Amino acid sequence: MFCTHCGSPIHEGQTFCTNCGNRVAQAAAAPNPPAQHLPPVPPLPPVPSAAPLPPVPPAAPARMTRCDWCGATVDTSQSSCPRCGATLHHAPVAASASGWTQLPPRKDMAKLQFGKSSCQIEGLYVPVADMNLAAGDSVYFAHHVLLWKDPAVNITTMSLKGAWKRMFAGLPLIMTQAEGPGHIAFSKDDPGELIPVPLQPGQAIDVREHMLLAATTNVGYDWFQTGIWFQTRNGDDTETHYPVGNFMDRFASPQTPGLLLLHAGGNVLVRTLQPGQTILVKPTALVFKDPTVSMQLHFEMPQTRGMFWGSSWGARYMWLRLAGPGRVAVQSVFERINEGAMTGSSSATAAQW
């Protein structure tokens, strides 16, 4: 076996070429799932554009390709996917040896289409979503992510159910809504990645709270209790902590395709879990998951033989076990929580080592 890049000999089982560092093509690969394996996507309606396209002359049939990231069928003449902004025609996004995939590359100023409107994603450190809303199209957002707007764009509030619960949970109480025509732009205040998540009719996604940048108004917004918590201190001083948030947002697009824009800290890594396949992640790193993915706390207890605190809660490592089937995403910048001094938790499994 030889490296396809530099021609050096490669031994069986090697993942990278020792000469040039090129990844070895996994021809006779183990039961590894393929690099890109999004949930099956129903065939898409053609991407609507502002002006109806003239009928394609039969002499030059449009060549179509499939976007690796969101599954949209795209004209090969385009350089970016109009549904999610991913750069097309790049080398296939390689999964890490462990199965995590980075977000696809995105060209600065890549443009997404939704309804009759469009959205440009600008900048690479703290990306801005610059929306050009057509008349009648609208988006909603938490008011603190607004960066700038045309004076003509009207902002109104969107009523949310369960306001009391939301207020106590520290969730944004008011969602603001902006209606076209006009430009409005959003950004968060920390370096990270903007994740466009096109939602197919009938598709839903569970998102960590405060990750939303903006969504089209045809995307339904609901939330549920995560049931993931741990406690510190005892008696009257007991404090309950929610490492995944007390509530998680659920975005669903029941009838029409919708667009959801999220912002996560640092870099974002995604993988798809097979039915029953599990992975342990730090609870505060979870960004989103398919609703089919289940969550549970897991503790690991290092053996500190002979030490009097050997089995105390303070010496446990806290994990979130995610079980497939479905897609999960984590962020590389996340809150480090103090796992010591824990006195109890929601249902959890434990292992000693």
Q: Which two tokens stand for residue 236?
A: 């009257």
Binding segment toward another protein, per CB under 8 A, in 29-37, 55-63, 155-163, 230-238:
155-163
Which CB, 66 or 107, lies closer to another protein? Answer: 107
Q: Which residue in the set 4, 19, 79, 157 belongs to the binding site for another protein (CB under 8 A)?
A: 157
Nearest to 287 by CA among 318, 332, 233: 332
What is the nearest approach in angstroms of another protein to the Cβ of residue 82? 14
- Cis-peptide, bond into residue 181, ω within 30° of zero: yes
Q: Closest separation between CB of residue 147 and another protein, Å?
A: 5
- Residue number, 121 or 252, with CB nearest to another protein: 121
Residue 50, interface with another protein (CB under 8 A)?
Answer: no
Q: Is 163 in the site for another protein (CB under 8 A)?
A: yes
Nearest residue (CB) to another protein, 71 versus 127: 127
Is residue 151 within the footprint of another protein (CB under 8 A)? yes
- Measured from the CB atom, the residue of 35 and 333 that comes closer to another protein is 333
CB of 250 to another protein, least distance (A): 22
- Eight-state DSSP code of residue 84: T
335 binds another protein per the rule CB under 8 A: no
Tally the C-alpha atoms within 13 A of residue 38's C-alpha that lie toward its C-beta. 16
Could you give the CA distance from residue 218 to residue 254 in angstroms, rounded to a whole number?
Answer: 8
Binding of another protein by 146 (CB under 8 A): yes
DSSP 19-56: TT-PBPP-TT--SPPPS--PPP-PPPPPPP-SSPPPPP
Residues 6+ apart with CB under 8 A from 99: 32, 33, 271
Burial of 43 (0-12, 13-18, 19+ CB in 10 A): exposed
Return residues touching another protein (CB under 8 A).
Answer: 108-109, 111, 118, 120, 122-128, 130, 132, 143-144, 146-151, 155, 157, 159, 163, 167, 173-174, 176, 183, 185, 187-191
